């Protein structure tokens, strides 16, 4: 084994997944909402956290705006 390696020559490619890294956050979500995504998780076979992430990612990618009205 060599004592020194030229790192630039070992793997000059950029990691294609670096733009898809996830960050762990803490968020408070209603029990009913969690139950909904857990039920959808059972139907789809995907983890409920993945479903929540997919839903939020879809909203962000389509630039959806939140519309609230208080009566």
Domain positions in the chain: 28-62
Q: How many CB atoms lie within 10 A of CB 9?
A: 7
Residue of 49, 28, 30 whose CA lies nearest to 40: 49
Lookup: tokens for 15: 């990691």
Residue entry with tokens 């909203």: 59
pTM passes above 0.85: no
Task: Write out pLDDT tens, residues 16-53.
Answer: 777 778 889 999 999 999 999 999 999 999 999 999 99
Phi, psi of 60, rounded to the nearest 5 degrees: -70, -40
């Amino acid at each position: 084994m060599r004592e020194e390696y030229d790192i630039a020559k070992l793997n000059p490619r950029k990691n294609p997944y670096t733009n898809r890294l996830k960050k762990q956050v803490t968020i408070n979500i209603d029990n009913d909402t969690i139950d909904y995504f857990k039920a959808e998780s059972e139907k789809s076979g995907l983890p409920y956290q993945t479903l929540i992430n997919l839903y939020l990612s879809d909203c962000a990618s389509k630039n959806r705006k939140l519309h609230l009205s208080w009566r």
